[in-house]
Every structure is written in C-alpha cells, then in structure tokens.
Amino acid sequence: MIEMPEATTIAKQMNAELVGKTIASFGRGNKTHKFLWLNRPDEEYAAILPGLRVTSASSFGRSIYLNLGDHMLWWSDAGGKLLYHAPGDKLPKNYHLGWEFTDGSALTFALQMWGGVKLLDKSEFGEIPNEEIGTPPLSPEFTLERFDEMLDAYPEKTSKGIKGFLVATGYAIPDPIHGLGNAIVQDILFNAKLSPKRKTPDIAPEERQRLYDAIQSTIAEAIELGGRYDEVDLYGQKGRYVRLMDSKTNGTPCPNCGTDIQKISYLGGACYLCPQCQN
C-alpha cells in the first residue's frame, strides 16, 4: 500500500514532472479490478478530464492529489504503482487506469489490493477533500499534545492494542493519524520499543513521548530516502528505506540486542517485532 513516505515522494515527483501538462485522454487499461473505486461513471472521467491542465500535485498523509485547476484526481487508501511514462515510452503490460497528456507522455495506475481514484470538483471544498479526516505526522497540527488527545479519544482503546490505533483510518475512528499503514508501523513500534499489542491506557507518558518521537523520526527518514524499498516511485524506482521489521528480517538478529526477530499474527495481519526490546 502507498503510505505517507511514498505519497510524499510521488507527489513531489509529480509536481516536478507534470505541472503544465494538459490531459488528452483517460481510459481503462487492459485489466479490471474488483476493488478499484471510482466516484463517477467512466464516461464522466472521459468527458471531464481532457483539456484539464495540471496545476500542482500534493499529498496529505497517504493520499495523493493531482490538482487540475478546478478539479482534482485523488488517490485515497490506494496500493499499487502510479507511474509516469515519457513520450514514446512503452506503457506497462498490465495497468488499470491510464491518462495521456497532449505532449505524448502518460500516467498509468496499476492497482494492488484496493484503492480509490476519485475525480472531484474543487469548487466543493478547500485545499483538501471534505472526506479527509485525521492529522498527518510532520504536519504543524501533529503536536505531542494533539497526539495525546487522539490517543485519549481512541474509542477502541480497551480492546485493540496500539497497532490498531496507529493504522486506523477515518472510516474506523473519528480522529485518526493520517498516513501510517501496516508496513511503516512495524518500524515505528520497534523504534518506540513498544509491542503492537500494548493497550493504549497502559502506555505511560514517557512511552507516549517515545512513540510520538518514533512516528516523526521514522516517517521523516523514510521520506528522506524516497519511500520504502518494497514500493516504487513515479519512475518505477524502488525507495531506499529498508524496513527493520518485516518478512525479510524475520528470524534474523535484532539490530539492537541480537535476539531473533519474531513474527506474530495480530489484528488481521503479520507483525514483526523484537520480543526483547518491545514491551
């Protein structure tokens, strides 16, 4: 899935590559996908998009926005490859959605898992779509005080551990952190020395501070390195952020203490952790 480090990287690259280009056409690729959500019929995308010019690209947590004057394309909760193709480049064999520009360049999106690519009329909202709920790390609003309030407001704090809170989206809770997914959260919890199963009421103030710091520093590092090594950027290049806790490091020594990294199943997904360092 595209998480905040990848969304930030791709939006930055789109901003440098696509601004000023005019969309010539929109269409489906050669593949269909059950979990690809568009908010309008295809005909409306095909009717509205041609002639629109890219004015900027931006991101919010793990969402990517391609701003097209008074319209916007919005990749929300999406996973997959969003790729740029220079004029004359061959398009990938498999993709789900494609946009051609008048200069012959193109953008394709190949969905993995699930995701939405919505076309919005910007006259209906301000800088970000109305449905975007939550606070992204590294934003001025994401202070330690704010983080404390969010933790205190977590409605499921008695039944789900801290991992559930970190990956929750606006569909699940009213006040989520925007941008984290199951991948980067493993490293955040390792850096914070907290088990994914820790119940939020049991997390002491100094641990909250450690967790807040780990969110900020881990996300900043992954953005600095162009996203995670198991995801690609706008040019199909892998990110340089190598995850500490994932399937590849399972069973290898913890970088801190040498204990074998363990895999556990928790909240519908795999977690990788150091049983010695993370409590």
Q: Report the interface residues with Zn ion, using CB under 5 A.
A: 254, 256-257, 259, 274, 276-277
Please identify, using beta-carbon distances, which residue of 170 and 275 lies nearer to Zn ion: 275
Query: Cα 76 to the chain's mean position, in Å?
Result: 8
Q: What are phi and psi of 8, to 5 degrees?
A: -65, -45
Q: From the CB of 252, what's the least distance to Zn ion, in Å? A: 11
Q: From the CB of 278, what's the least distance to Zn ion, in Å? A: 7
The answer to whether 218 and 189 are in contact (CB under 8 A) is: no
Q: From the CB of 24, what's the least distance to Zn ion, in Å? A: 54
Reported residue count of the chain is 279
| Nearest Cα residue to 6 out of 134, 180, 167 | 180
Please identify, using beta-carbon distances, which residue of 85 and 197 lies nearer to Zn ion: 197
Q: From the CB of 63, what's the least distance to Zn ion, in Å? A: 34
Q: From the CB of 255, what's the least distance to Zn ion, in Å? A: 8
Alpha-carbon distance 52 to 37, whole Å?
A: 22
| Nearest Cα residue to 236 out of 20, 68, 86 | 86
Alpha-carbon distance 107 to 153, whole Å?
A: 40
Using a 10 angstrom Cβ sphere, with 0-12 exposed, 13-18 middle and 19 or more buried, the burial of residue 53 is middle
Written as six digits, the tokens of 121 are 């009329």
Alpha-carbon distance 252 to 262, whole Å?
A: 9
The answer to whether 63 and 75 are in contact (CB under 8 A) is: yes
Q: From the CB of 256, what's the least distance to Zn ion, in Å? A: 4
E strand or H helix that includes residue 101:
strand 97-101
Please identify, using beta-carbon distances, which residue of 223 and 245 lies nearer to Zn ion: 245
Find the residue with minimal CB distance to Zn ion.
Answer: 254
Q: From the CB of 279, what's the least distance to Zn ion, in Å? A: 11
Q: From the CB of 224, what's the least distance to Zn ion, in Å? A: 24
Distances (CA, A) of 105 to 48, 67, 86, 278: 19, 17, 5, 48
The angle, 0 to 180 degrees and rounded to 10, between the axes of the packed helices 182-191 and 205-224 is: 130
